[in-house]
A and B are shown apart, each in its own frame.
Chain A
């Protein structure tokens, strides 16, 4: 299984978008960031997800108060799973 996985370093603070992902799981990292850095990383994740892709956060993390909450819909509020909007009206 390991040979089908690409492992790679990515610096959330300095690096740019990293592809068109179906799902990004990032738990208990945002809690250590201030609002500005949180916003930067939410933008990064939004740009790195394909439309309809999923973002999974830790239980005490939320995209609700960031500038990018409109880019996502709530799939499972308690589990903190968000789905990126497809952009269709």
Chain B
């Protein structure tokens, strides 16, 4: 019965959450440049970076990709066709009413923002209408969050360790969850477009 329900609703993905750390900048560029400006899903990126960093990451991605990229703002309404990047030094949470909220609670997995925190919060709100992706990185942040997404019926994708600049984060995610897909970096963007157009 649950299986049936999934097959009925799997064509209505609403959001994609992506966790990335070391090597993430160029991996994100590869994925996001494959997405069109009229992409219908919301994309939320958790990237480990220095707490005092400026908006270089989102600015550079916005310049080089067709889809709009911006830093997430407090209480901002989450829209389709926009890529939101977590602000440095804050945890990001997704509220039931489809807005962002921030927190300065302690680090999780040595990180703030933490991938696990965002993924778990997104899984609670979007359930099976969520796609979770773990990319290159040098710690195990995101594994538990990806597990939550899978348990909530969402789709899980991990960048293949061979195509990751640092394989530790993808390997940890693959070990913790049996992801639905382990894909080479180049294939992830086109695959997301395919998932969207099937909907």
Q: Which residues of A contact B (CB under 8 A)?
A: 28, 30-32, 35, 58-62, 65
Interface string of B82-123 (1 = CB under 8 A from A): 000001011000000000011110000000000000000000
- What are 20 pairs between A and B in contact, CB < 8 Å? A28-B102, A28-B104, A30-B74, A31-B74, A31-B90, A31-B101, A31-B102, A31-B103, A31-B104, A32-B103, A35-B75, A58-B104, A59-B87, A59-B89, A60-B73, A60-B90, A60-B102, A61-B74, A62-B74, A65-B75
Interface residues on B, range: 10 to 19
- In the complex formed, the residue of A with least CB distance to B89 is A59
Rounded to whole angstroms, the CA-CA distance of A59 and B104 in the bound complex is 11
Rounded to whole angstroms, the CA-CA distance of A59 and B73 in the bound complex is 10
- In the complex formed, the residue of A with least CB distance to B95 is A34
- Chain B residue numbers with a CB within 8 Å of A32 are 103
Rounded to whole angstroms, the CA-CA distance of A32 and B91 in the bound complex is 12
Interface string of B62-81 (1 = CB under 8 A from A): 00000000000111000000
Rounded to whole angstroms, the CA-CA distance of A58 and B89 in the bound complex is 11
Beyond the given pairs A32-B103, A60-B102, A62-B74, 7 more chain A to chain B contacts, judged by CB atoms under 8 angstroms and listed by A's residue number, are A31-B103, A58-B104, A60-B73, A60-B74, A60-B87, A61-B74, A62-B73
Rounded to whole angstroms, the CA-CA distance of A60 and B89 in the bound complex is 10
- In the complex formed, the residue of A with least CB distance to B93 is A31
Shortest CB-to-CB span from A14 to chain B, Å, is 23
- In the complex formed, the residue of B with least CB distance to A28 is B104
Rounded to whole angstroms, the CA-CA distance of A60 and B104 in the bound complex is 11
Shortest CB-to-CB span from B52 to chain A, Å, is 10
Shortest CB-to-CB span from B160 to chain A, Å, is 34
Shortest CB-to-CB span from B96 to chain A, Å, is 13
Shortest CB-to-CB span from B159 to chain A, Å, is 29
- Chain A residue numbers with a CB within 8 Å of B102 are 28, 31, 60
- Chain B residue numbers with a CB within 8 Å of A35 are 75
- Chain A residue numbers with a CB within 8 Å of B74 are 30-31, 60-62
Shortest CB-to-CB span from A71 to chain B, Å, is 20
- Chain A residue numbers with a CB within 8 Å of B75 are 35, 65
- In the complex formed, the residue of B with least CB distance to A38 is B75
